Amino acid sequence: MSSIAQDRGSASALDFLAKERSIAGPGFNRWLVPPAALAIHLCIGMAYGFSVFWLPLSKAVGITAPLACPAGTSFFAELWVTGCDWKVSTLGWMYTLFFVFLGSSAAVFGGWLERAGPRKAGLVSMLCWCGGMLVSAYGIHTHQFWLMLLGSGVIGGIGLGLGYISPVSTLIKWFPDRRGMATGMAIMGFGGGAMIGSPLAQLLMTKFATPTSIGVAETFLTLALVYAVFMTAGALAYRVPAAGWKPSGWTPPTAAANAMISTRHVHLSNAHKTPQFWLIWGVLCLNVTAGIGVIGMASPMLQEVFGGRLIGVDAAIGSLDAAQAAQIAAIAAGFTGLLSLFNIGGRFFWASMSDKLGRKATYAIFFLLGTALYASAPSTGHAGSIALFVGAFCLILSMYGGGFATVPAYLADIFGTQFVGAIHGRLLTAWSMAGIFGPVIVNYLREFQLSQGVAKAQAYDTTMLILAALLVAGFLCNLLIRPVAPKWQMSEEELAAARKLAHEIAPAGSASTGGVASGSPAVLVAIAWAAVGIPLAWGVAQTVAKAAILFK
What's the DSSP call for residue 507?
P
pLDDT tens string 155-212 = 999 999 999 998 888 898 899 899 999 889 888 888 888 889 988 998 999 999 999 9
pLDDT of residue 327: 81
Length of the chain: 552
pLDDT of residue 8: 47
What's the DSSP call for residue 37?
H
Instruction: Report the pLDDT averaged over residues 106-122.
Output: 90
Instruction: Report the pLDDT averaged over residues 462-488.
Output: 93
Name all domains of the chain by residue range, CATH numbers in brackets. Answer: 25-65+73-247+521-552 (1.20.1250.20), 266-499 (1.20.1250.20)
Helix runs in 117-167, H state only = 118-142, 145-148, 156-165
Q: How far is CA 200 from the centre of its chain?
A: 19
Q: Which residue has the higher pLDDT, 54 or 430?
A: 430
Instruction: Report the pLDDT averaged over residues 526-531.
Output: 94
Of the pLDDT bands very low, low, confident and very high (cuts 50, 70, 90), residue 257 is: low
User: How many CB atoms within 10 Å of residue 41?
Assistant: 26
The CA distance from 164 to 317, in Å, is 39
The CA distance from 520 to 528, in Å, is 11
User: How many CB atoms within 10 Å of residue 359?
Assistant: 27
The CA distance from 159 to 164, in Å, is 8
Backbone φ and ψ of 343, nearest 5°? -60, -45
What's the DSSP call for residue 1?
-
Of the pLDDT bands very low, low, confident and very high (cuts 50, 70, 90), residue 14 is: low
Instruction: Specify burial of residue 190 (Cβ count, 10 A radius: 0-12, 13-18, 19+).
Output: buried
What's the DSSP call for residue 210?
B
* Three-state DSSP class for residue 388: helix
Distances (CA, A) of 178 to 23, 74, 410, 413, 521: 20, 52, 12, 12, 22
Q: Are 130 and 160 in contact, with CB atoms under 8 Å apart?
A: no
Of the pLDDT bands very low, low, confident and very high (cuts 50, 70, 90), residue 115 is: confident
Distances (CA, A) of 513 to 119, 239, 334: 13, 10, 48
Between helices 33-44 and 522-547, what is the axis angle to 10°? 30
Within 8 A by CB and 6+ apart from 26, the residues are 511, 512, 518
Residue 545, CA atoms < 13 Å, CB-side half-sphere: 8
The CA distance from 359 to 283, in Å, is 12
CA neighbor of 535 nearest in space, from 196, 84, 54, 102: 196
Q: Are 463 and 446 in contact, with CB atoms under 8 Å apart?
A: yes
What is the CA angle 339-340-345, rounded to 5? 100
Q: Are 86 and 408 in contact, with CB atoms under 8 Å apart?
A: no
Compute the Cα dihedral for 76, 82, 84, 89 and give only its sign.
positive
Task: Inform me whether the pLDDT recorded for 478 exceeds 80.
Answer: yes
Task: Inform me whether the pLDDT recorded for 441 exceeds 90.
Answer: no
Backbone φ and ψ of 178, nearest 5°? -145, 60
Compute the Cα dihedral for 197, 202, 208, 214 and give only its sign.
positive
Of the pLDDT bands very low, low, confident and very high (cuts 50, 70, 90), residue 444 is: confident
Which of 133-142, 385-394, 535-544 shows the highest mean pLDDT?
Answer: 133-142
Q: Are 300 and 439 in contact, with CB atoms under 8 Å apart?
A: no
